Structure 1
Amino acid sequence: MGNEDRNEVAMAENPRKEETGPVSVERAFEGQRVPGWREQLTARALVVSFFLSVMFSVIVMKLNLTTGIIPSLNVAAGLLGFFFVKLWTKGLESTGLLRTPFTRQENTVIQTCVVAAYGLAFSGGFGSYIFGMSSRIADQATEENNSQNIKEPKLGWMIGFMFVVSFLGLFSLVPLRKIMIIDYKLIYPSGTATAYLINGFHTPQGEKLAKKQVWTLGKFFVISFLWGFFQWFYTAGDDCGFAAFPTLGLKAYDNRFFFDFSATYVGVGMICPYMVNISVLLGAILSWGIMWPLINNQKGHWYSASLSPTSLHGLQGYRVFIGIAMILGDGLYNFLKVLHRTTSAFITAARKRPTTTLPVSDDDRPATTPTTFDDERRTEVFLKDQIPKWVAFGGYIAVAIISIITLPHIFPPLKWYFILVAYVFAPVLAFCNAYGCGLTDWSLASTYGKLAIFIFGAWAGASHGGVLAGLAACGVMMNVVSTASDLMQDFKTGYLTLASPRSMFVSQVIGTSMGCVIAPCVFWLFFKAFKDIGMPGSEYPAPYAIIYRNMAILGVDGFSSLPKHCLTLCYIFFALAIAINLARDLSPKKVARFIPIPMAMAIPFYIGSYFAIDMFVGSVILFVWEQLNKAKADAFGPAVASGLICGDGIWTLPQAVLALAQVKPPICMKFLSRKMNDKVDVYIGTLS
């Protein structure tokens, strides 16, 4: 899941390179029979997939509603899938009831199913466009908060919406799977990395390492869960507990600079590349350390001093819109970059004979690549189970018709002809995104979604619910483009693990079906349990909800809602994002790796710096570990990080249940300055 449509920042792991020379993966499995596609879809795989999907959906939803930074959880999904099915088969084996051994193909099915399900917790828009439709977010935006631009979250329509829009992308690129995987030989780095992970698990040496990794993950899962439980006892009021600990002083705390003891973001920092974490910290220092204090000094000159802290006509407006400008600048640059690479690849292919493969990197590859034993074996299995074209075309048309009929009833401003136009162009955009993702591992699904916000919002117009239409169109486009790219990643994983394309397609459909129910239910649990969700400064501020809504307002109303000098600053930071990206691409690699990432810099502009410090601490821990023992850090670092993320994330479930049951923590741990403490002591003395 390590791509931009899932976390706005490319955080995919670097896959190991394809084997060369005498090294062969498939020779190690040569004596094993490849099970048929129906045998790969076992009941135990689907049961394990369901429970892991619930767990990871909770984790992703928590991350989605706090900062929007979601790292790759493929390692954790692969490890836990392997562990639970191994536990299952070992138990049956000891009783003599085991009929079917656990295979890497079945492991691939679990991975595909789980990633498809928890992916919808992000691409479903519960922290962005769907929540951005609510009155809670609309009240913060102040503009276009009339009834025709508001759609309150309800479990029924959210599940229906997910089912209507999430399957179209699965059918859009199925006929092109052979071209993308075999003819073009696209790498799909995340899919390749996942395949090597699964292949490694099922070798004798890999199984031993996997068991140790699972033990490490489980140990830190328990530590993280218990730490979250311990912290809960001290959060009886607002700004209470370890999350409000002024570790860098009270003045820094007022500017959201503090370490909040979050196991989740320490784990995220250990998974994300160093430059992502450094970029987030630089963005936090630039915004909360320099810009916002300076702009706050202009209160009464640039904006009214009587405005509420959450008004977008005051300081909050600068935080939101300057962040939007950087996000759009970065998105536009990467869209044009991937489009250029895609176009260049096709021009190169057109100039050569038809059998030539397209380039998959900046380096020119020879027109003919020697065929290895692995290539022959994988191609044979990949082409064995064909998916009939009538399934793809018929499925796309059927789902599109249902969607065109259904969506206008859910979102009245989203007219049927808007959806028809979107679905006519969607396969082309899905192909461009899937092809670019195969080249760079950078999915631009959210960029296409933002494009849809502006196009369809402006088409609908301010007087006809343009904001709601734009947000709904964003969901339609983002889901089609995202699921198509994800499916092609899974085909690549299946190709490298000899999993049947049919089992990959069916498991993706099953995982998507699970996600269509699980993701809205998990969001509904958060929405009901935490009453201040979506509010600035709360435990779950949902930063992208207000950002996406304001993008829709910009698309409909233009720049009339911006405070004084905000537009000038937006232009500067839009250009700055493009300039930084240009510098990264044009500089030598040894220099480029020290240049920050604009998208990552923009994330803390709105929500604060605390998570940036958490992530930086995670980076420091991993860096020190690598200096002491790099091999061990490489092997167990992702497991430790996944354990920290999973344990803290799963603690959210009992925390939500306690909140729904009106069970409140017994203690409030709060920090005061010496002067304030003296005043409190005097006040308490007057009461006694």
Structure 2
Amino acid sequence: MLERVRDGDHWPDHPNGIEPDNLSVDQMLQSDKVPKWTEQLTVRAFIVSLLVGTFLTIIILRLSITTGIVPAFNIVAGLLGFFLVKSWTRVLEATGLSRTPFTRQENTIIQTCIVACTSIGFSGGFGSYILAMSSQVANEIRDPAKENSTKDPSESWMIPFLFMVSFTGLFTISPIAKMTIIQHRLTYPTGSAVAHLINNFHTPQGALLARKQVRLMLKSFTGSFFWAAYSWLFTGGPNCGWSSFPLFGTSAYLKRFYFDFSLSNIAVGMICSHLVNFSLLLGAIISWGFLWPYIKTKEGLWYPAKLDASSFQGAFGYKIFISIAVILGDGFYHLVEVLLRSLHNLRAKRKQRGFMSTLETSTSDLNAVTNEERLRTNHFLQEQIPTTFAVGGYLLCFTISIFGLPNIFPQLMPHHILAAYLMAPLLGFCNAYGCGVTNWSLAPTYGKFAIMIFSAWVGAKAGGVIVGLVACGIVMTISNSASDLIQDLKTGYLTLSSPRSMFISQFIGTIMGCIMAPVIFWFINKSMHLGKEGSLYSAPYAKVYRAMALLSTDGLSKLPKNCISLCVVFFFGAVLINAMREGAKRKKWWFYKYIPSPIGMAIPFYLGGFFTVSMCIGSIIRYRWEKMNPQGAAMFVPVMASGMMCGESIWLIPAALLSMYHHEPPMCLRFLTVQANNLLDYLLYNQQS
């Protein structure tokens, strides 16, 4: 769509003599020649994708193993891809070495490759199902590390595993792209927004804005990186450093209410909606302020006194399983809602023009759309992925998996793999179609249900924990890659990028992710001791996923008294809250914006409220920015937040290297009450004398 336009301060002469201010972006670029699909795939595009993909994968892995909240980086991928290639071409053109223009199609290829690469960092389960297999997490939740229920993460098996399961979703979704994008014209809000952004980047005004955004990102990146380095100097011991600042006093600190000075969490709060941020805070207040203290009073009545803090038979059982109940309740509601809305959409489309009609044979449809839409449709249909190729690719992936996965996981039988591969394409289609209607990806929800189904099917003695977690990986990866590809194909449709080049870009990006993400994760895991309770990298979702597998294999008998009753109440409470919010929204009642999100409330039930404070601060910053400069906030808040996340996450690399070579932080900054400080002074004085 958007194509190369001069970067000067004025527009070149338009062929029709029309002023550009009166034209749409598509009209401005209508005269540009669309490159062949082979010309859209360039070496520099994949070099830039590799650099940016590695960069963003580090951020995603860090967020996955700290809070588990990972925002989308599609827009950041498009922005950084544009900036880096523009800088590349300027340097080469200045030396006379390159005349190759940078097109919006190439920009789309870069964005697609980066998203495919970084998506493995999320759907690969490094903060959830893969880490849940480890003996570290099993020991942390007091699950006996049986021989057939643990498998410690290692790049030697994670890379082959991801290669076997990560490509299937690409082949399953390709045949339905025409139906969802052309026939049903689904919105795919994220894909459409990224396409609009890329199209505008390739105008003089858009290029100028992109430069301003990148400058702001570099500033916030630099500040965040040096703040992370400075903070590290004071973490030379347990509970040391600015991350343990008791903002609300020591009593609140013991209940995990404090300010952790994490710029990443503030940045995530700036990106997430105000509703999600304050739902997190509300969930922390309800759980750690009221529910857990109340359950503590039942010690000796509902559960034995003086149990280990990580015993399922004690207070820990309530914390982890009530949070699971809320997560499942929220997921169940949205699963049903997306299914109903998708069916309603299908029915409406069928009534409108018939389910099997196609635009390439329907003259009335082609006359009903604009010239721009006709151009997009014809270009999209000319370079479709052949159905035989997609079916052959799916069968090849299945064949490799059915022989290869049992070698990595002996607990996994061929009929388990067959069942997962029969289930996953259907769920991938549902996820891809639902994304087009609602912009929600339910891949994690499908993965959780797969854990419960397969773990219960296999049982504890036959290795049901591992089988359930592997099935989760298969289902979650396939359904997530399906929704990612269809979103990117929508972007390609709006930027006149070839579906074939998009598929190849997604394929290459997936290869990058399958190699980089496990290597980066192994490097972090080796130096940071992931999953340890009370640490910054406690990986809360890994414990939740393992607990779900254990619950499905061992049954409910091990849980403390009234735990199941509370779980049922919170499950249906999550469903009811979602239904109330949707009903109020449809009725246009003013208070619907203030009804909290159950999934947001559930996360701090187990983890605590420390990160919610930082995220609410980020939300307040964004709110004030929007009040003072709404247009500027829309353009620059996501960019500034991304820079903040990048800087703190990149510090992981030097911190991990220092730890591997036994260079510990030189100081310990700890906050004490007056009484504790006086006692410490007294002990030090007596020791000296």
Structure 1 residue aligned with 2:534: 537
Say if 2:366 and 2:374, in contact at 8 Å, map to a contact too. no
Query: What whole-Å deviation, never above 9, does each CA across 1:276-320 have from its counterpart, x for those lacking one?
Result: 111111111111111112222222332223212222222221111
Structure 2 residue aligned with 1:13: none
Structure 1 residue aligned with 2:214: 214
CA distance in 2, matches of 1:85, 1:367: 38
Structure 2 residue aligned with 1:676: 676
Which residue of 517, 538, 545 corresponds with 1:548? 545
CA distance in 2, matches of 1:574, 1:74: 32
* Residues 300 and 368 of structure 1: CA distance in aligned 2, closer, same or farther (over 3 Å): farther
Say if 1:24 and 1:374, in contact at 8 Å, map to a contact too. no
Verify: 1:561 aligned to 2:558, yes or no: yes
CA distance in 2, matches of 1:674, 1:687: 20
**Shift, 1:343, TM fit:** 2.1
Structure 1 residue aligned with 2:377: 379
Equivalent residue letter for 2:429: F
Structure 2 residue aligned with 1:487: 485
- Map 1:152-301 to 2 at 5 A: 152-301=152-301
**Shift, 1:356, TM fit:** 8.4
**Shift, 1:143, TM fit:** 4.2
Say if 1:349 and 1:357, in contact at 8 Å, map to a contact too. no
Identity %: 50
Equivalent residue letter for 1:253: Y
* Bigger Cα displacement from structure 2, 45-54 vs 553-562: 553-562
Verify: 1:663 aligned to 2:677, yes or no: no
**Shift, 1:626, TM fit:** 1.4
- Map 1:594-609 to 2 at 5 A: 594-609=594-609
CA distance in 2, matches of 1:323, 1:220: 34
Query: What whole-Å deviation, never above 9, does each CA across 1:482-517 have from its counterpart, x for those lacking one?
Result: 111111111000001111111110000000000001
CA distance in 1, matches of 2:351, 2:636: 47
- Map 1:105-124 to 2 at 5 A: 105-124=105-124
* Residues 419 and 119 of structure 1: CA distance in aligned 2, closer, same or farther (over 3 Å): same
Query: What whole-Å deviation, never above 9, does each CA across 1:365-415 have from its counterpart, x for those lacking one?
Result: x99993112201211221222322221111110111000111111111211
CA distance in 1, matches of 2:164, 2:610: 38
Structure 2 residue aligned with 1:3: none
Query: What whole-Å deviation, never above 9, does each CA across 1:46-77 have from its counterpart, x for those lacking one?
Result: 11110111111110000000011011222222
Equivalent residue letter for 2:411: P
CA distance in 2, matches of 1:670, 1:357: 69
SS of corresponding position for 1:383 = helix
Structure 1 residue aligned with 2:4: none
Verify: 1:570 aligned to 2:532, yes or no: no
Say if 2:229 and 2:651, in contact at 8 Å, map to a contact too. yes
Say if 2:57 and 2:517, in contact at 8 Å, map to a contact too. yes
Structure 2 residue aligned with 1:9: none
**Shift, 1:617, TM fit:** 0.2
* Residues 565 and 209 of structure 1: CA distance in aligned 2, closer, same or farther (over 3 Å): same
What TM-score comes out, normalization by structure 2 length? 0.93
CA distance in 2, matches of 1:140, 1:665: 25
CA distance in 1, matches of 2:272, 2:666: 36
SS of corresponding position for 2:382 = coil
Say if 1:24 and 1:373, in contact at 8 Å, map to a contact too. no
Structure 1 residue aligned with 2:455: 457
Q: Could you tell me which runs of 5 or more consecutive residues in structure 2 were left unpaired when the two chains were aligned.
A: 1-21, 359-363
Structure 2 residue aligned with 1:444: 442
Structure 2 residue aligned with 1:312: 312
- Map 1:646-661 to 2 at 5 A: 646-661=646-661
* Residues 48 and 281 of structure 1: CA distance in aligned 2, closer, same or farther (over 3 Å): same
CA distance in 1, matches of 2:420, 2:468: 12
CA distance in 2, matches of 1:349, 1:182: 12
Structure 2 residue aligned with 1:581: 578
Equivalent residue letter for 2:294: L
SS of corresponding position for 1:306 = coil
Say if 1:72 and 1:271, in contact at 8 Å, map to a contact too. no
SS of corresponding position for 1:257 = coil
CA distance in 1, matches of 2:651, 2:65: 15
- Map 1:314-329 to 2 at 5 A: 314-329=314-329
Say if 2:423 and 2:475, in contact at 8 Å, map to a contact too. no
Verify: 1:508 aligned to 2:532, yes or no: no
* Bigger Cα displacement from structure 2, 152-161 vs 455-464: 455-464
Say if 1:45 and 1:85, in contact at 8 Å, map to a contact too. yes
CA distance in 1, matches of 2:302, 2:639: 49
CA distance in 1, matches of 2:454, 2:162: 20
CA distance in 1, matches of 2:298, 2:535: 26
**Shift, 1:637, TM fit:** 1.1
Equivalent residue letter for 2:477: N
Equivalent residue letter for 1:541: S
Say if 2:173 and 2:428, in contact at 8 Å, map to a contact too. yes
CA distance in 1, matches of 2:46, 2:262: 32
Equivalent residue letter for 2:302: W
**Shift, 1:344, TM fit:** 2.3
Verify: 1:685 aligned to 2:685, yes or no: yes
Structure 2 residue aligned with 1:341: 341
CA distance in 2, matches of 1:144, 1:466: 14
**Shift, 1:259, TM fit:** 1.1
Verify: 1:472 aligned to 2:501, yes or no: no
CA distance in 2, matches of 1:500, 1:353: 26
CA distance in 2, matches of 1:448, 1:224: 35
CA distance in 1, matches of 2:23, 2:449: 45
Equivalent residue letter for 1:611: F
* Bigger Cα displacement from structure 2, 570-579 vs 306-315: 306-315
Say if 1:537 and 1:607, in contact at 8 Å, map to a contact too. no
CA distance in 1, matches of 2:503, 2:366: 30
CA distance in 2, matches of 1:631, 1:568: 48
CA distance in 1, matches of 2:356, 2:81: 38
SS of corresponding position for 1:528 = helix
Query: What whole-Å deviation, never above 9, does each CA across 1:2-46 have from its counterpart, x for those lacking one?
Result: xxxxxxxxxxxxxxxxxxxx9633211112211111111111111
- Map 1:86-97 to 2 at 5 A: 86-97=86-97
Structure 2 residue aligned with 1:431: 429
**Shift, 1:220, TM fit:** 0.6
CA distance in 2, matches of 1:445, 1:633: 30
* Residues 278 and 153 of structure 1: CA distance in aligned 2, closer, same or farther (over 3 Å): same
Say if 2:303 and 2:313, in contact at 8 Å, map to a contact too. yes
**Shift, 1:575, TM fit:** 0.9
CA distance in 2, matches of 1:534, 1:176: 40
CA distance in 2, matches of 1:171, 1:484: 8
Equivalent residue letter for 1:498: L
CA distance in 2, matches of 1:405, 1:260: 47
CA distance in 2, matches of 1:557, 1:165: 28
CA RMSD of aligned residues (A): 1.7
CA distance in 2, matches of 1:429, 1:609: 34
Structure 1 residue aligned with 2:612: 612
**Shift, 1:194, TM fit:** 0.8
Task: Say how many residue pairs are matched.
Answer: 659
Structure 2 residue aligned with 1:104: 104
Say if 1:112 and 1:490, in contact at 8 Å, map to a contact too. yes
SS of corresponding position for 1:513 = helix
- Map 1:6-45 to 2 at 5 A: 24-45=24-45
